[in-house]
Amino acid sequence: MLRKLKNSLFLIYIVLATFLVTLPLFHIIFSVFINGFPVILKAGLSFLTETLPPPGEELAGIGPAILGTFILTFLSSLIGIPIATLAGIYAAEYPNSFFSRATRTLLLVMIEFPTILVSLFVMSIVVLPMGRFSAIAGAIALVIVMMPYVAVYTEQALKSVPERYREAAYALGLKRKQVVFRVMFSIARKGIVTGFLIGIAKAAGETAPILFTAGGAYRTFFIGLDKPVGAIPLLIYDLVQQPYSNYHEIAWGSALILLIVFLAIFIPVRLSVREVKL
């Protein structure tokens, strides 16, 4: 009797746990839509193109933040993806060397690493010497954040290619470089591209790394790599901490845009591969 009771309680518990674990996502999406959609509807298309209004009634737009996110993501991908991909190739191609094992551990540690520390680090080595916040500093911080994801994905994608294709490529007289880039890389491309996209999604969505690096600029559009630049997550973070209700509305609208951007990158990626590591 007691055993049966325990068993039933257990079953109730795991169903309840499942419900509680998944509920927040739906509520977050629901809240962002409920609060963000009317804002975008009210502001119209100019929400995407106009600059931030002064505190008060106006909504205007978040154009500079959208452009800034695009620039930061593009720049950091441009720098980070090639380096990280090559590092991933190293870890996959020379799995037994000491350096390779150390690299794998380091990459996994860096994935788990508090991103606010990256912000502090880049501030002290880039922002302080340059004398101001800049797009390039923000991009460097995001490079450090995104690289481990891209590298780990590349490594695992290459490792999942069956050995027989590697052997076949070598048996045709291909050189190591050709084997890796022309054969292994193409066969593993799905996993590798997944890594790129996860890295890009991270760069577009992170707030902490750009907190003390990008600086934020919402009333002017992009004016140069060495000048401050805004970003959607950073804008939301700034706006919600101010007491103005139109800023809160704009924050919700921005959150909706960020959510849509994220889901647009992430859902197709997630559905095309069996597992992701974040």
Residue 244 touching other proteins (CB under 8 A):
no
Residue in 62, 81, 89, 145 binding other proteins, rule: CB under 8 A: 89
Nearest CB to other proteins, comparing residues 71 and 122: 122
Q: Which residues contact 253 (CB under 8 A, 6 or more apart)?
A: 36, 39, 40, 43, 47, 59, 62
CA separation, residue 228 to residues 159, 200, 218 (Å):
41, 21, 10
Q: Are 227 and 135 in contact (CB under 8 A)?
A: yes
Residue 1 touching other proteins (CB under 8 A):
no
Q: How far is the CB of 143 from other proteins (least distance, A)?
A: 9
Q: Segment near other proteins (CB under 8 A), from 37-45, 50-58, 89-97, 152-160? A: 89-97
Q: What angle do CA 267, 270, 13 make, to 5 degrees?
A: 95
Residue 4 touching other proteins (CB under 8 A):
yes
Q: Segment near other proteins (CB under 8 A), from 52-60, 70-78, 163-171, 220-228? A: 163-171
DSSP 53: P
Residue 78 touching other proteins (CB under 8 A):
no
Residue 223 touching other proteins (CB under 8 A):
no
Residue 166 touching other proteins (CB under 8 A):
yes
Q: How far is the CB of 59 from other proteins (least distance, A)?
A: 17
Q: How far apart are CA 229 and CA 277, in angstroms?
A: 30
Q: 10 to 69, contacts with other proteins by CB under 8 A?
A: 10-11, 13-18, 20-22, 24-25, 27-28, 31-32, 35
Residue 7 touching other proteins (CB under 8 A):
yes
Residue in 49, 50, 74, 178 binding other proteins, rule: CB under 8 A: 178
Alpha helices, H only, the chain:
2-43, 63-93, 98-111, 115-122, 128-130, 135-159, 163-171, 176-178, 185-187, 189-205, 232-240, 245-272
Residue 211 touching other proteins (CB under 8 A):
yes
Residue 125 touching other proteins (CB under 8 A):
yes
Q: Which residue has the tokens 């991908």?
A: 77
Q: Segment near other proteins (CB under 8 A), from 38-46, 47-55, 60-68, 176-184? A: 176-184
Dihedral of CA atoms 244, 247, 251, 252 in degrees, nearest 10, equals 80
Q: How far is the CB of 44 from other proteins (least distance, A)?
A: 22
Q: How far is the CB of 125 from other proteins (least distance, A)?
A: 6
Quick one: which of 267, 195, 244 has its CA closest to 29?
A: 267
Q: Are 92 and 154 in contact (CB under 8 A)?
A: yes
